[in-house]
Amino acid sequence: MEAVKRKWTALAQKAKGMASFLRGSRELVAVDPGSYAVKCCYFKEEGGILAVKAWGYLPYDLKPEASPEERKAEAIKSLKAFLAQKGLKIVEAATSLSGNSVIVRYVKFPQMTKAELSAMIATEAEPFIPFDINEVQLGFHVLGEVSEEGQKKMETVLVAAKKDLVSQRLEILQGAGLAPTIIDVDSFALENVDELVRDPKQAEGATLYLNIGHMVTNLSIVDAGVTRVVRDIFVSGITLTKAVMKALAVDFAKAEELKHQYGILVDPSEKEGILQAGQKDALLVSQTVAGVIKDLVGEVHRSVDFYLSQGPERSIGRIVLSGGSARLKNIDQHLAAELKVPVSLLNPFAFLKQPPADLPAELLPSFGVAVGLALRRNNDWV
């Protein structure tokens, strides 16, 4: 569990001026307000057993060109309806961020106390942050001590999030009557889950997580519980849909439908059958989708090469997929063949004695971030 605790990043206590982070009441609802759907999860411990008391998958009922304001209003509306429908009176909430308004950096600082670093963080962090320091909310966590050129240094993970993104998230939660007490980073929340669900006897090597959402794909590489690479890639669900729109000259809704229906054809006999049946659309969607995934694979290669170049005896042992786009038909087989590493889909509820029976299997990978957030205060329960 220590590895899990080492990784948390605290932005929310700044937003709320709270000193406690992993303490306090355990009544906490996790809200992952993505750009396609809001995902919610609420765990409760009863008789020593952790169980999912409520989950929500709330896709936006909006036109693709809806403004951020409309999206926010819709998220608040569906979140409120979810809380009312489930009869949840919990006020505290955890949420997380990702995308091009969030930067995660690993930085080594000279030895100082946490209080000293806290006081100096804006000045110390400025060179590492590509945004105006006055426009960001900073969070940091000291990972441990390292030696560099004979000097002891503190390895620190820095998170800088643009204030407007933080405010937008806080407004969604507050608008639904919730009090945000934790703001995390999508990739960190996700790793929190995999720590619990992965097979302890799994093959050697680091784990590469790909959370393929709608607007963004979160990539992280974790070795022995330590995150080594975190980055966001802008090849994701919407990129696939737009490519299908263009290739088949259809509107957004139709392109989404075709993408969901066909995915990637990997099996030669399946391809043959499709050809025989004259299903041109299926072939075209598959080719188009595979073309976009090629770009994603290129980005993954870049991150893997960077990781491998950072030290000897490094390898990637497995890839864990999550996010709504992990539901793309055959994406796991396709990526395994392209990247030559075993690929699995995340079931974020696999550690529970009783997984939620009413949650459809195809939605499981979409709940990675929400479950990771919901566990933030529940680490000691498992």
Ligand X SMILES: Nc1ncnc2c1ncn2[C@@H]1O[C@H](COP(=O)(O)OP(=O)(O)OP(=O)(O)O)[C@@H](O)[C@H]1O
Give the separation between CA 92 and CA 22, rounded to whole angstroms. Answer: 12
Report 295-354 residues binding ligand X (CB under 6 A).
323-325, 327-328
From residue 43, alpha-carbon distances to 55, 169, 306, 371, 373 in Å are 9, 21, 37, 9, 10
Of the candidate residues 213, 221, 245, 320, the single one contacting ligand X (CB under 6 A)? 213
Task: Give the residue, chosen from 33, 34, 237, 365, that forms a contact with Mg ion under the rule CB under 5 A.
Answer: 34
Dig out the tokens for 133 from the structure: 């320091």
Number of residues that bind Mg ion (CB under 5 A): 2
- CB nearer to Mg ion: give 76 or 121: 76
Region near ligand X per CB under 6 A, out of 31-39, 41-49, 171-179, 247-255:
31-39
Positions in 204-263 near Mg ion (CB under 5 A) = 213
Least separation in angstroms between CB 134 and Mg ion: 28
- The verdict on 141 binding ligand X (CB under 6 A) reads no
User: Cα separation of 177 and 233, whole Å?
Assistant: 32
Q: Which does 215 bind (CB under 5 to 8 A by kind): ligand X, Mg ion, none?
A: ligand X
CB closer to ligand X out of 180 and 213: 213
Cα angle 19-169-303, degrees, rounded to a multiple of 5: 90
Q: Which span sits near ligand X by CB under 6 A: 34-42, 159-167, 273-281, 337-345?
A: 34-42
Name every residue whose Cβ is closer than 8 Å to that of residue 134 and which is 6 or more positions away in sequence. Answer: none
**Span of 28-36, 117-125, 132-140, 267-275 interacting with Mg ion by CB under 5 A:** 28-36
Nearest CA to 98 out of 194, 9, 207 is that of: 9
**Residues facing residue 343 across a β-bridge:** 319
Given 216, 230, 243, 265, the residue binding ligand X (CB under 6 A): 216
Report the residue number, 252 or 351, with the smaller CB distance to ligand X. Answer: 252
| Cα–Cα distance measured from residue 33 to residue 40, given in angstroms and rounded to the nearest whole number | 8
10 Å CB burial of residue 308 (0-12, 13-18, 19+) is middle
Least CB distance to ligand X at residue 360 (A): 11
Specify the 3-state DSSP secondary structure of 216. Answer: coil
In the list Mg ion, ligand X, none, the entry touching 237 (Cβ below 5 to 8 angstroms by class) is ligand X
If you compute the radius of gyration of the chain from its CA atoms, what whole number of angstroms results?
21
Give the list of residues 6+ apart from residue 77 with CB closer than 8 angstroms, or none: none
The residues binding ligand X (CB under 6 A) are: 34-37, 213-216, 236-238, 256, 259-260, 263, 323-325, 327-328, 366
The residues binding Mg ion (CB under 5 A) are: 34, 213
